[in-house]
Amino acid sequence: MLFAIGKEIRKARRGRKGSQAELARVLGMSRTTIGQIENGTAQDIGARKLIRILEFLGLELRVRPLGAPPTLDELREKEGD
């Protein structure tokens, strides 16, 4: 799951033509931390830190039951990718 979140963060950051260093500077984090989050290898990432990154990039985190089928909105979003 963290890998998928990190992949979306990287995609959004690149879509804004920003670097890991720029994102880290704006959010007061290290570039290493941003890289680890994007790669899904961050050992310990707090929810507040993750939410700050997501909000800055215009993303949101959704929670739903494990194994639940995708919603119609989620299917539509995948069509746009």
Percent of all residues in the chain with a pLDDT value above 70, rounded to a whole number: 98
Per-residue pLDDT, 73? 83
Give CA 51 to chain center in angstroms: 9
The model scores a pTM over 0.85: no
Distance of CA 61 to the CA centre of its chain: 8
Estimate the crossing angle of helix 47-56 against helix 31-39, to 10 degrees.
90
pLDDT at 81 over 90: no
If pLDDT is split at 50, 70 and 90, which confidence band does 18 have? very high
DSSP string, 22-65: HHHHHHT--HHHHHHHHHT--S---HHHHHHHHHHTT-------
Higher pLDDT, 16 or 63: 16
Mean pLDDT of 19-42: 95
Conformation bin of residue 64: beta by default, left when phi > 0, alpha when psi is -120 to 50: beta
